[in-house]
């Protein structure tokens, strides 16, 4: 095979990888998938109307439809390239509400029927508050145009029907948001201690590393491991062991600020992320955690202590290497006789 074909092979593999990445993102991000489906299909439908209007001599109508189709497509592109699908969804709702009102003014009665579609879609692509606000504006703007209705009862029927669609959408989306938060809590938190689990830890540490590389944000990571925890389970039972784990998590949370995070790495091992914390501040926090936990265990006469290793986030770190350095420092604390606090070296 000639070397001239190799660049084409690489570009082909890159294209395949890009397509696979987009498909994976659609599978993993439900909100993005919904916005893409509704936005893309709406753009195609409106684009078809634009062609029809140009073909029938309605130049202004065709221009309006082209502008709407381009706007819908732009919002979808923004959702893919932007960081916040939720923000893109709000922009989408604002745009389709304005487009529907403009269409009713330009095209009259037939365009007003699109209001029902917009009301239904709004609660699918964005949060209940934004969708509700957009729905109220749309219903009021359409109902205000008396020329769109043949009689007052007809206008009242439109308002009642639109209001019922809005009410149903608001109730459904509000319940969906509640259940989504509950599922996210179950998926990302340890059910016993309510600390974050490994999945949430990885996501959070990745974000801390990105912030460090972009804005030089300082951060510290501590690994806490209970000493002689097996003897607690053997001597007092697993229920007592669970109480110790919960107490450790509670003590840590009481000392942390809102910007910090606690995770359960597994068994009796926990990870603490200290954001925007200098080395001096980090040393103060971890030593305070060590003292407070020992004091709490002494108060309930439990023969268990904690070994802590902690590490500063370095420029060359990714999240696994950062965690590994803190973990190695914790094992050095174990080897030094347990019940110790040791800082990781910079190498």
Domain that holds residue 206: 198-343
Do residues 235 and 118 share a domain? no
Of 139, 162, 188, which one is at a domain's C-terminal end?
188
CATH number of the CATH domain containing 277: 3.30.70.270
Packed helices 238-255 and 279-299: angle between N→C axes, nearest 10 degrees: 140
Do residues 202 and 335 share a domain? yes
| Beta strand pairing call for 305-312 and 261-266 | unpaired
Question: Measuring CA to CA, which residue among 312, 144, 310, 119 is closest to residue 224?
Answer: 310
User: Is residue 63 within 8 Å of residue 103, measured between CB atoms?
Assistant: no
Do residues 217 and 68 share a domain? no
Query: Per residue in 29-87, pLDDT tens?
Result: 777 888 888 888 888 998 998 999 899 988 988 898 899 899 889 988 888 887 678 88
Task: Report yes or no on 111 lying in a domain.
Answer: yes
Please tell me the total count of domains within the chain.
Answer: 2
Do residues 81 and 206 share a domain? no
Residue 255 has a CB neighbour count (10 Å cut-off) of 15
User: Is residue 173 within 8 Å of residue 86, measured between CB atoms?
Assistant: no
Query: Per residue in 7-28, pLDDT tens?
Result: 555 555 544 456 565 666 666 6
Task: Report yes or no on 193 lying in a domain.
Answer: no
Residues of the chain with pLDDT > 90, as a percent, come to 52
Residue 333 pLDDT greater than 50, yes or no: yes
Of 121, 154, 188, which one is at a domain's C-terminal end?
188
Do residues 183 and 221 share a domain? no
pLDDT for the residue numbered 5: 52
Do residues 25 and 161 share a domain? yes
Averaged pLDDT for residues 234-242: 89
Tokens representing residue 340 in the block: 């110790």
Task: Report yes or no on 177 lying in a domain.
Answer: yes
Of 158, 188, 218, which one is at a domain's C-terminal end?
188
Do residues 177 and 241 share a domain? no
User: Is residue 331 within 8 Å of residue 271, measured between CB atoms?
Assistant: no
Task: Report yes or no on 262 lying in a domain.
Answer: yes
User: Is residue 260 within 8 Å of residue 273, measured between CB atoms?
Assistant: yes
Task: Report yes or no on 137 lying in a domain.
Answer: yes
Integer Cα distance of 340 and 331 in angstroms: 10
Tokens representing residue 62 in the block: 């065709």
Rounded to whole angstroms, what are the CA distances from 341 to 6, 222, 308, 326? 54, 10, 5, 11
Task: Report yes or no on 151 lying in a domain.
Answer: yes
Do residues 147 and 228 share a domain? no
**Collapsed DSSP state (helix, strand, coil) of residue 189:** strand
The overall pTM is greater than 0.75? no
Do residues 262 and 313 share a domain? yes
Do residues 129 and 243 share a domain? no
Number of H helices, E strands in the chain: 13, 5
Degrees, nearest 5: CA angle 297-302-304: 75
Do residues 136 and 157 share a domain? yes
Do residues 82 and 202 share a domain? no
């Amino acid at each position: 095979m000639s070397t001239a074909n190799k660049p084409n092979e690489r570009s082909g593999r890159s294209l395949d990888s890009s397509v696979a990445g987009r498909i994976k993102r659609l599978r993993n991000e439900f909100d993005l998938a919904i916005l893409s489906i509704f936005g893309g299909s709406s753009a195609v439908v409106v684009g078809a109307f634009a062609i029809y209007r140009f073909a029938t001599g309605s130049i202004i109508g065709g221009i309006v439809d082209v502008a709407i189709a381009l706007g819908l497509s732009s919002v979808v592109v923004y959702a893919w390239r932007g960081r916040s699908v939720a923000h893109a969804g709000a922009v989408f709702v604002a745009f389709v509400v304005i487009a529907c009102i403009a269409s009713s003014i330009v095209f009259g009665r037939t365009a007003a029927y699109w209001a029902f579609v917009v009301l239904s879609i709004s609660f699918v692509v964005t949060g209940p508050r934004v969708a509700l606000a957009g729905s109220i504006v749309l219903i009021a703007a359409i109902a205000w145009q008396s020329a769109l209705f043949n009689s007052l009862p007809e206008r009242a029927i439109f308002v009642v029907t639109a209001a019922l669609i809005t009410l149903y959408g608001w109730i459904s989306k509000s319940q969906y948001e509640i259940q989504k938060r509950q599922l996210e809590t179950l998926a990302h938190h340890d059910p016993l201690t309510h600390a974050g689990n490994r999945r949430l830890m990885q996501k959070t540490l990745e974000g801390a590393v990105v912030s460090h590389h972009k804005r030089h944000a300082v951060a510290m990571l501590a690994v806490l491991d209970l000493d002689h925890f097996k003897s607690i389970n053997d001597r007092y039972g697993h229920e007592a062991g669970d109480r110790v784990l919960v107490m450790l998590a509670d003590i840590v949370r009481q000392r942390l600020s809102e910007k910090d995070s606690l995770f359960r790495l597994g068994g009796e091992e926990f990870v603490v992320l200290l954001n925007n914390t200098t080395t001096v501040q980090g040393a103060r926090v971890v030593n305070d955690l060590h003292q407070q936990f020992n004091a709490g265990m002494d108060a309930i006469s439990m023969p268990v202590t904690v070994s802590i290793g902690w590490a500063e986030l370095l420029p060359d770190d990714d999240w696994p290497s950062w965690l590994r350095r803190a973990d190695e420092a914790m094992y050095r604390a174990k080897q030094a006789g347990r019940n110790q606090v040791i800082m990781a070296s910079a190498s």
